[in-house]
Structures are given as C-alpha cells and as structure tokens.
Amino acid sequence: MKTVYDFTVKDRQGNDVSLSEYRGKVLLIVNTATGCGFTPHYEPLEAMYRDLKEQGFEILDFPCNQFANQAPGSDDEIHEFCTLKFGTEFPQFKKIEVNGENADPLYVFLASEKPFEGFGKGVRNAALQKFADLNNKAFGEKTYIGWNFTKFLIDREGKVLARFEPTVDMGEVRKAVAAIL
C-alpha cells in the first residue's frame, strides 16, 4: 500500500527530500498562499506547530500560485513573508502546482486518498465554491485541490486520515491532530 513516505519533494533550494524522513511523525500537509483570504491560517498553524512538535508533529508547507495568483513571489520571498509576518518555523518547500497536468504527484496521491467533497454549507462557502469553480475550470478532471490552505492529516504510518478544506475551523483541525498524537 502506498503512503506519503513513497514521495520525494523539493525543499526551497530545490534539493530532493524524501518524505520517509518524517516516518513516525504525525503530519499536516498544506498548500498555502501569501495573498489569500485564508493566509491568516498561518497564525494558528504556527501555534499548533510550536505546541505539538515535541509530541512528533510536523507541518509541511507547499506554496502554490494556482488560485487567483495569490502566491506570486519567489520561494525566498514567500519564506521571508511567512517568517516575518507569522513567525513560521515549520518546513516550507518549493512552490508547486497542485492541479492540472503538472500537479505534484504527492498532491495527486493525497487527493485520490481523500477527494474534495465541497467547502461546506453557508453563504461564504457557496461564494468560495463559485469563485473556485471559475478559477479551476482550466484544470478540468485534473482538479485535485479546491483552494489554498487545504490540509491533509497524515498518521505516523504515512496514511492519509483526513482532509480539511480551508473553510474548516482551525480549532477543529487542531482537535483532530491532537487526537492522533
């Protein structure tokens, strides 16, 4: 059975990193953007990281510019923004694509394990769905991720346990992480 440990990604400098280096840890893998309405998620993500990393928790941050061009900077510019504005210390990787022909294989795997089921109910979520549909039309059947700050929870064996859309309250995400630590 395939797990996240079967994938290799690029760090910010372009070096290969095998996700098997994170074997035995609980992971939260998230695609991010610096100019998104959900960018403030960096704050509770960093708080969760600081509070739980000693228990074997890691956040893996993958910037992506595929959603309304909300992460236009270079890898270094994005990293500088995140560290200066939100004090992030969790690993941030090279900017990737999560949808389309060039979607990173890790994200194709994550989304095949836990497919998109919608942003939830409510006016705000319906508005995001409408905007996402317009944005993601170009990706057709190769749309794996609906928007920035989609989070995947991975257990200590590398299995995908849950998917949290950006509209899910960060308190709920934290509770799910704490429950498997």
Catalytic residue among 9, 36, 59, 173: 36
Separation between Cα atoms, residue 55 and residue 168, nearest integer Å: 24
Helix, strand, coil shares, percent, the chain, to 5: 40, 20, 40
Closest C-alpha among 180, 171, 138, 154 to residue 6: 154
Residue 36 a catalytic site member:
yes
H-run or E-run covering 49: helix 42-52
β-pair partners for 31:
62
Active site residues: 36
